[in-house]
Amino acid sequence: MMNTMVHVEVPAADRGPAADRAIKVVARGVNVHYGEKHALHDVDLDIPERAVTALIGPSGCGKSTFLRCLNRMNDTIPVARVTGRIEIDGHDIHDPELDVVQLRARVGMVFQKPNPFPKSVYENVAYGPRIHGLARTKGELDEIVVSSLRRAGLYEEVKDRLADSGTGLSGGQQQRLCIARAIAVSPEVILMDEPCSALDPIATAKIEELMDELRENFTIIIVTHSMQQAARVSQRTAFFHLGSLVEEGPTETIFTTPKDRRTLDYITGRFG
Amino acid sequence: MTLLYFATLLSLVAAGYYFGRSRAAAVSQAALHSRPAYHGAFVAIAVLLPMLAVFAVGVPLAQRLAEAQAVNAFDPALAGDELRRGAVLRDIVAVAAGRFSGEPSAALQRAAETYRSLRSWSDALLIAGGLAFGLLAIAFGLRSLSARFRARNHVERFVTVVLFACASVAVLTTVGIVFSVLFETLRFFERVSPVEFLFGLHWSPQTAIRADQAGSSGAFGIIPLVAGTLLITTIAILVAGPIGLFSAIYLAEYASPRFRAIVKPILEILAGIPTVVLGFFAALTLAPWIRDSGGLLGLNVASESALAAGIVMGMMIIPFISSLSDDVINAVPQSLRDGSYAMGATRSETVKKVILPAAFAGIVSAFMLAISRAVGETMIVVMAAGLAANLTFNPLEAVTTFTVQIKTILVGDQEFDSAKTLAAFALGFVLFFFTLTLNVIALQIVKRYREQYD
Ligand SMILES: Nc1ncnc2c1ncn2[C@@H]1O[C@H](COP(=O)(O)OP(=O)(O)OP(=O)(O)O)[C@@H](O)[C@H]1O
Ligand SMILES: [Mg+2]
């Protein structure tokens, strides 16, 4: 068991309370039931704009469940029932006026296992822009695809095989392809559910670097099991336990002086 | 006799297994190379093989001998005359078995007596021989057993050989059928030129029995049959393709699990309806209905039409398409759906752009299977589309297909070397070639578009 605190380096520019940054996502009294199972209890959380927020906590505590609330992916699970209020830029995402298609264009998602479509690299990235009609001409589409691949740090590696199948890339490349696919529709928020858990350390480092760049333009929420990763990439951290949000705050604070005993136990590896 | 022999065989095999096993079980288990059950199985096999061999060689041998002696006793001069010899032999056997109707002659009775006594002798000999071989085999098997004996390897080699033999039977049967059809086809082509056969526009296989017979020109052009087969199959696929595929999409992507659990088996029952019953339906219900409604529209519809047969055949193959497509659609990983929904795609966009392309190879093979079934189907066409070999692509006329013509030619008494009869083999060969091509194409498509999900 590791008993020392995780060593954290937070760039000086990122220190300071959340109040410094505009709030992008607001969750109030969010509850999720899967049939009889009460998976998420009364979660209240503010997520700042243009920053990385990490969700940590032991397995089964509801991190993915909370993440899926934010782009209403729980709608695709028949037994799931979500209550409470979630706002993005002050607008309720459960508003019946709002089309879930529009919501998901604004809130992109990257999954734990890379899941490129069995199509070419190009078609994978072009998928979202085509669906949402973001490009009027082939030239515009080409431009979106290339710039998305560039921002995902993948372009140099795949520029000669845009026509090859996306499933033929390496795991790390596939995951960056999925990130490119997500940013191709210019979302405002990107949700990432353990995006590096299937990757080796080098691919992981690349993705972490990428997140650091992406947060200049996007609001990023990442679920991770790696304390080090949360410390490296995030500015704010929220700790979940048994379906409740226990504590949240600047990453530095959570990792150095947590208020709750359970948070301390978790980050020092005493359970989880 | 056969029963007794196999009872002996089974008891010896069981005994061999038991002794082999207990011999091995008595040895210290640690020193044993193979587990006791393998030792038992080894001895059992050692008994089984020689005893089967004795039976397989002994029975025909004894039979031949008894027959030869019996015929000799009846009339030695018969040996050369195959036809009469056969007839006499039948009588002898009948008398020996007490099934002869009428009063047998003295010579016949003598011969039957010879036959009977020889048979009972040889039976006794065979059982004794089998028993001796079996016991020897047990002794031999037990002697070769020892702690280090690799019984498992021997048993597994035996199993491999048995499996190989079974696989070979399937392959050899296919090869045998293909070759026999091929040879008959070549004989057919001695009578009718392949060019006429493949490109002729008239099909009327009645050959003249008398020179002055009218209407029996004996034309063997298969183009009308090709057209009929294609027409009916196309109609069937036009009916079954969309219905089958769309119901598969509905079942796999939209329906609740409960609905799917109920409806899928019901759809599959459709595949189990005997085609005769479907043919009934086509001929007695659908065809008249089509004719009447066609009449209302001022169309001239034959009472037997390609349309009726095609529609009913389409209904027959719906379950092949729907059930298989449903399976392959279900095999598309959930993560791809999630990825698509998370991009803001709707359900129908996801189906169109992600799921169907991913399942494409499987759907193609479902279609190919359905087409093979449709091309090979006979009963529905016989009952609903008629026998007239019209060269037409009008679905409202009567047409005929390969299978129907094969059936028509071969039903009833036939001379076995007339061009008409041989034509059935040539048709069969072409049909076989056609389905083979279809399968090869399907395999290529499947290989090319198969998606590996890890
Ligand atoms: N589709 C579902 N149907 C029923 N229960 C579910 C479903 N998805 C999650 N749950 C339950 O909800 C609880 C929270 O699950 P969730 O996936 O959010 O956990 P998590 O924190 O992401 O865990 P992990 O770190 O292992 O991914 C768990 O107890 C889980 O069993
Ligand atoms: Mg999770």
**Digit-coded pLDDT (tens) for A145-176:** 999 999 888 999 999 999 998 989 998 899 99
Chain A interface includes B341 (CB < 8 A): yes
Fold designation for A2-9+21-267: Rossmann fold (3.40.50)
pLDDT of residue A110: 94
Residue found under tokens 């991770």: A224
Name the token pair of B274. 């005997």
Question: Which amino acid does the sequence have at B285?
Answer: T
- For B352, the closest chain A residue by CA position comes to A131
Answer whether A73 sits within 8 Å of B337, measured CB to CB.
no
Closest CA of chain B from A20, distance in Å:
30
A40, A43, A59, A64, best to mutate for ligand 1 pocket (most atoms within 8 Å of CB): A64
- Cβ of B341 within 8 Å of Cβ of A104? The answer is yes
pLDDT for residue A244 is more than 50 = yes
Asked if residues B66 and B118 have their Cβ atoms less than 8 Å apart, the reply is yes
- The predicted pLDDT at position A198 comes to 80
For residue A14, pLDDT over 70 is answered with no
A262 C-alpha to ligand 1 centroid (Å) = 20
Mean pLDDT of chain B: 86
The alpha carbon dihedral of B176, B179, B184, B185 has a sign of positive
Please tell me the predicted confidence (pLDDT) of residue B236.
93
**Nearest residue on chain B to A77, judged by CA atoms?**
B338
Domain boundaries, chain B: 2-149, 204-449
Q: Point out the ligand nearest to the CA of residue A241.
A: 1
pLDDT, tens only, A200-219: 888 889 889 989 988 998 99
pLDDT of res. A4: 44
Q: What is the pLDDT of residue A5?
A: 45
pLDDT of residue A84: 93
Comparison of pLDDT for A193 and B78, the residue scoring more: A193
Give the whole-number percent of chain A exceeding pLDDT 90.
69
Protein residue with its CA nearest to atom 1 in ligand 1: A77
Which residue reads 């199948």 in tokens? A165
End-to-end CA distance of chain A: 12
Q: Does the beta carbon of B358 lie under 8 angstroms from any beta carbon of chain A?
A: yes
Give the mean model confidence (pLDDT) for residues B74-85.
Answer: 80
The residue whose C-alpha atom lies closest to atom 20 belonging to ligand 1 is: A60
Dump the DSSP string for B101-139: -S---HHHHHHHHHHHHHHHHHHHHHHHHHHHHHHHHHH
Specify the 3-state DSSP secondary structure of B342. Answer: helix
| Nearest protein CA to atom 25 of ligand 1, as residue | A59
- Over the stretch B221-261, which tens digit does the pLDDT of each residue have? 888 888 888 899 999 999 999 999 999 999 999 998 899 89
Q: pLDDT band for B450, please (50, 70, 90 cuts).
A: low
Q: Which residue of B has its CA nearest to A178?
A: B339
Give the residue among B329, B311, B328, B327 at the shortest CA–CA distance from B241.
Answer: B311
The CATH label, of 3.40.350.10, 3.40.50.2020, 1.10.3720.10, 3.40.50.300, for the domain at B204-449 is 1.10.3720.10
CB of A133 less than 8 A from some CB of B: no
Q: Assess contact for A39 and A84: CB atoms under 8 A.
A: no
pLDDT in tens, A49-95: 999 999 999 999 999 999 999 999 998 888 999 999 999 998 999 98
Q: What is the residue with the minimal CA distance to atom 26 of ligand 1? A: A59
* Mutation for testing the A interface, residue in B343, B352, B450 having most A CBs under 10 Å: B343
Ligand nearest to the CA of A68: 1
* Ligand 1 center–CA A62 separation, angstroms: 6
pLDDT at A224: 94
ipTM exceeding 0.95? no
Ligand 1 center to A39 CA (angstroms): 7
Closest CA of chain B from A200, distance in Å = 17
Residue A188 has pLDDT above 50, yes or no: yes
Model confidence band, residue B451 (pLDDT cutoffs 50, 70, 90): low
Closest CA to B205 of B394, B426, B52: B426
Higher-scoring residue by pLDDT: B339, B271: B339
The verdict on a CB contact (< 8 Å) between B344 and A76 is no
Predicted local distance difference test score (pLDDT) of residue A1: 39
Highest mean pLDDT among A184-193, B23-32, B260-269, B302-311: A184-193
Q: Is A243's Cβ below 8 Å from some Cβ in B?
A: no
- For residue A6, is pLDDT > 70? no
From the list A209, A116, A98, the residue with the least C-alpha distance to A164 is A116
pTM for the full model? 0.76
Atom of ligand 1 nearest to the CA of A32: 12
- Compute how many other C-beta atoms are within 10 angstroms of the C-beta atom of residue B283: 21
Domain boundaries, chain A: 2-9+21-267
Most confident of A188-197, B186-195, B370-379: A188-197
Query: pLDDT band at A18, cuts 50/70/90?
Result: very low
B148 or A85: which leads in pLDDT = A85
- Return the pLDDT at B257: 86
A71 in contact with B, Cβ within 8 Å = yes
Query: Which residues make Cβ contacts (< 8 Å) with residue B303, sequence separation at least 6?
Result: B287, B288, B291
Would the CA dihedral through B269, B270, B271, B276 be positive or negative? Answer: positive
Are A117 and B333 within 8 A, CB to CB? no
- Ligand 1 probe mutation, A31, A34, A192, most atoms within 8 A of CB: A34
**What's the pLDDT tens digit per position in B409-420?**
888 766 666 777
Q: Which chain B residues contact residue A131 at CB under 8 A?
A: 343-345, 349, 353
Distance between CA atoms of residues B222 and B214, nearest Å: 21
- With both helix axes pointing from N to C terminus, report the angle between B151-191 and B36-74 in degrees, rounded to the nearest 10: 40
Q: In angstroms, what is the span from residue A61 Cα to ligand 2's centroid?
A: 8
- According to DSSP H, which parts of B300-401 are helical? 306-331, 334-342, 347-350, 356-376, 379-384
Q: What is the pLDDT of residues B107-134, one digit of tens each?
A: 888 888 889 999 899 999 999 999 999 9
Residues of B in contact with A35 (CB under 8 A): none
Distance from CA of A80 to the nearest CA of B (A): 15
Confidence bin at B388 (pLDDT 50/70/90): confident
Nearest residue on chain B to A187, alpha-carbon basis:
B343
Residue of A nearest to B256 (CA): A78
